[in-house]
Amino acid sequence: MNAEPDAGSGAPQLRGASFSLKARLRLAIVALAVLVVSAVSLLNLHRLAEARFEDFSQRAQMAAQQIKTFLIYRVRDLAARQEPGPATLEEAIALWEQMVREDADLAAMLDSTVASARVVVEILIADRSGRVLASSNRTRVGSAHTALPELEAWGGRSPWQKLRQVLWSREDYQTTVALGLPGRQEPVFSIHVVVSSVLLRDELLPLLTRLGLIFAASLGLSLALAVMVSNWSLRPLARISEAIERITRGEYTPAADNGAPEAAEVRAVRSKLNLLGEQFRGAREDAVQLRSNIERLLEQLREVVLLFDRHGRLVLAGRAAEELLGRTRWELLGRTWRELFPPQTPLGSALRIAVEEGRVLRDQAATLEREGQPPAQLLVNVDPLEAFPDREPMGLLVTLRDAETRQQIRSQLDVSARLAAISRLTGGVAHEIKNPLNAIALHLEVLRSKLAGQGQDVPPEIETIQREITRLDRVVKTFLDFTRPVEPRMATVEMVGLLREIVALVEPAAAQQNVGIALAAEPEEIFVQGDRDLLKQAILNVVVNAVEAMKDGGCVRLSARLAGAECVLEVTDQGPGIPEDIRDRIFQLYFSTKGKGSGIGLAVTFRVVQLHNGTIDFTTEVGRGTTFRLGFPARSAAPEGAPS
């Protein structure tokens, strides 16, 4: 009981260390946009690199074939002019090699082909031994040709490997085309087209730069669009989060429908939040009211009631504790029972035994020693507040009672006797009211019979008087039975028609006060399950109060609408509003701000609403008016033959 609470900071640290759901969703949308743009850009880079490398290979191959064709033509042409011709194959090959070395047109052809092919650095023709016969690089003529990696084999690699080698290495590759004679496997000449990776890189860098700029622009645009889309998509989530925050602070009011389109899921969540907010607000108000009632009860008790929490600290105390202990409640709250009643004192010793042994004390005599005052002889009651089984108590309830308690009991018995006498008197008064009502109803029935006997139609005013007498009779019974169970006669009631009847009843009296009454309903028929007379009385009480509140005239607006599965009735006046200090008392029985009011009208309305599983609340603004809202479970349609 005397353990101190552990003021840990785990929850704040957890909230600070984790992302909110909104941040995670926004991050996921942005990451998805970056992933898509990056994937598309890499795919474009892959296709571009593959296409460019294929183009480079085809260029080198075309250059080699072009030189081959030109070489065959030149050798044939020069050999045809030679007189006399070679006698053997070896002489012919030697002659061809000499022609290749000395042909100026072939050298010019090599130079022009290298100049037109931007990635080719050299084209050379070698003999069977690999000696260079002709080359675009004249310094290489006569030297041995060193074999380079074949471009065809290099082209079989993946575009990423080729791109990495081109960008970060300085290596040359060659395309080789052999020129031989029919029936001979060994070629006579070999044509080598040398491609430089440096030139390849120079060709690719502008394309890569342009592709990088496009990627950066696409990425920036996609990020901007992702942020915009995420903000737009998460706007309902922000409103829901704000509503939850207001619910936790106890400041929640249902948001007005602004007509903006919303997803079905968001509408469902908002509906649930509205219901949860109303329930939470009701529970909060109930808790506040309960605490206020407990505090008022403790103040009215002559006994000293002290409530300690599980850590042994005082959380509630009645006003009687101030008189007994000689200190204000605000000085006592937060102190432990050991500080208030030291264990070495008789009262503290009794509390220590009860706490340590977990015992319940009943009327145990103990002496309370007080400074500057004589000791007080008390009867001590100690009750541990149990939680779940096998767990430590949630708190401790200590009751201290002196000899004056008997006087309090006698006073309570006296009050009970007076209440019983008032009840008997009320029954007699109601009986005296009921007799004239019966007589009026009887004479009204006689009048109706006479009119019917004379063949005259019964005026509608008589029907109205008959209904109102019946309702007044039930009001008298309800007054007597207010504290006893009431059994409503449930049937299907059409609420819009009921409101029209109420308007017809109130309009004459309202017109005398220069008050108009307007009725709006959507749809025109709304059905609920209830007692027609009780509902009529409950709504009439609210409307009459609204009319009487408008001393300077104005308009009372009645509206009926369907809100989901609920029929919502609103009564709005333009009166002075309800002062803040009495707003929590207007539904109390016999409470009235009117000089001649009985104080039972809104209390009856509140009880009728509860009997119909409905809700009632109000909003008010001083100087602007008040709106009462009554909600009842609605029926989808009236069953055939149901009364209305």
Query: pLDDT tens digits for 440-487?
Result: 877 788 787 887 777 777 777 777 887 888 877 766 765 665 555 567
The structure tokens listed for 71 are: 């070489």
Average pLDDT over every residue of 163-173: 73
In the predicted structure, residue 393 carries a pLDDT above the cut 70: no
**Could you read off the pLDDT of 212-246 as tens digits, one per residue?**
788 788 778 877 877 787 777 767 766 777 777 77
Is residue 11 very low, low, confident or very high in pLDDT (cuts 50, 70, 90)? very low
In the predicted structure, residue 129 carries a pLDDT above the cut 80: yes
CB 628 within 8 A of CB 612: no
Q: What is the DSSP string of 588-644?
A: STT--SSTT--S-HHHHHHHHHHHTT-EEEEEEETTTEEEEEEEEEEESSPPTT---
In the predicted structure, residue 643 carries a pLDDT above the cut 50: no
Identify the H or E element spanning 176.
Answer: strand 172-179
Q: What's the mean per-residue pLDDT of the chain?
A: 75
Is residue 594 very low, low, confident or very high in pLDDT (cuts 50, 70, 90)? low
Structural domains of the chain sorted by starting position, each given as residue range(s) with its CATH number in brackets: 21-213 (no CATH), 301-402 (3.30.450.20), 407-484 (1.10.287), 487-644 (3.30.565.10)
CB 157 within 8 A of CB 125: no
pLDDT value of position 109:
83
**Could you read off the pLDDT of 395-419 as tens digits, one per residue?**
788 888 764 444 444 544 453 454 4
CA dihedral 88, 90, 95, 96 (to 10 degrees): 120
Choose the most confident range, by mean pLDDT, from 223-232, 336-345, 573-582. 573-582
CA gyration radius, the chain: 51
Which segment of 109-118, 150-159, 356-365, 497-506 scores lowest on mean pLDDT? 150-159
pLDDT value of position 10:
40
> Please, is 546 exposed, middle or buried when counting C-beta atoms within 10 Å of its C-beta (0-12, 13-18, 19+)?
buried
Residue 370 CA to residue 532 CA, distance in Å, equals 64
Q: Decide which of 221 and 201 is more confident.
A: 221
Cis peptide before 523 (omega within 30 of 0): yes
**What's the DSSP call for residue 491?**
E
**Could you read off the pLDDT of 415-435 as tens digits, one per residue?**
345 444 544 555 556 656 766
